[in-house]
Amino acid sequence: MRIVASLIILAGCVVAPAAEDLRVGMIGLDTSHVIAFTQLLNDPGHPKHVPGAKVVAAYKGGSPDLEASATRVDGYTEQLQRDFGVRIVDTIEELCTLVDAIMLESVDGRPHLEQVKPVFAAGLPVFIDKPLAGSLRDALAIARLAKEHDVPWFSCSSYRYYESLVTLLKQDVGEIRGAVSWGPCHLEPHHPDLFWYGVHPTEALYTVLGRGCETVVRTATADTDVITGTWSGGRVGTLIGLRNQATPNKVVVFGAKAVAAQEGGGDYAPMIREVVQFFQTRVAPIAPEETIELFAFMEAADESKRMGGAPVSIQEVMEKAAAE
């Protein structure tokens, strides 16, 4: 493991990183995640500090045609430089020469495929923040390229590691027969409907049920989506996406012995601990196949909407995207 040679500037103080700290690079500085994650990693005084890695360099990125990106990228870039002494570089290729691992943070999923290509070429483990990609086709391409380069990666929403959801999964409800997950589902016209924010409650649903969804049916209104998936063995998972109203998030699990509900929320720290462990071990905590199926579920929901709520096969959606 290489030793971090640079010093990190924290709130006016100079701190020498520990020898075991991995050097992390960030791609895409247009989301509040870059500040929150860097605080957790770089500030040992943070109450939920995650040791073992430090953000030392970054590539600005940004999407001019996406308001959520264009209006924030400059401010977050300046804050990373000012508060944490993060070095900003001109290319992803240069970034890859300076670090041990990558966090791909671009809020826009569309450029993720092109942005991750130099990372795979450099052989660096990479965490790809949600959404994995801007299309199921690109998500499949990312998984394929990672396999070709033999580079480990994973992607997820922080909802998967919320302490409240982890606690729910520890309850003895017997064999899980179904689940309902609800949460925010704000839309963004450049992405399939659920990719933008519905990915969060979808991730929570898959955290409970795992792989094996076969068909998807969607009912959509201006304010609410209800997506029902039928899993192998007759399990049923329902996603309720909320817009233009209160948008809490929660999961209810229906077991053979009992019903249990998620109580409370969570924060980013547990996910960042998983990311650091992944960088250290190069072993992904989530199988690529599960993440790909999750995105196929969301794409199938879009297809069901286009078909007036008809059932859509996950397998057919996957085959169609692979052929594009």
Co-location of 234 and 184 in the same domain:
yes
Range of the domain at 134: 8-158
- Domain containing 32 — which CATH number? 3.40.50.720
CB 304 within 8 A of CB 229: no
- One domain, residues 177 and 28: no
Same domain assignment for residues 88 and 128: yes
pLDDT value of position 20: 79
List of the chain residues with pLDDT < 50: 1-19
Q: State whether 120 and 210 are in the same domain.
A: no
Rounded CA gap, 195 and 186, in Å? 10
223 and 300: one domain?
Answer: yes
Q: What is the pLDDT of residues 180-211, one digit of tens each?
A: 999 999 999 999 999 999 999 999 999 999 99
- 153 in Cβ contact with 128 (< 8 Å): yes
274: in domain: no
Does residue 277 lie in a domain region?
A: no
What is the pLDDT at residue 12?
37
* Overall domain count for the chain: 2
Q: pLDDT at position 269, please?
A: 98
pLDDT at 140: 98
Q: Look at residue 117 in the predicted model and tell me its pLDDT.
A: 98
Q: Are residues 206 and 164 in the same domain?
A: yes
At 188, which CATH number?
Answer: 3.30.360.10
167/300 same-domain check = yes
What is the rounded distance in angstroms from the CA atom of residue 122 to the CA atom of residue 125?
9
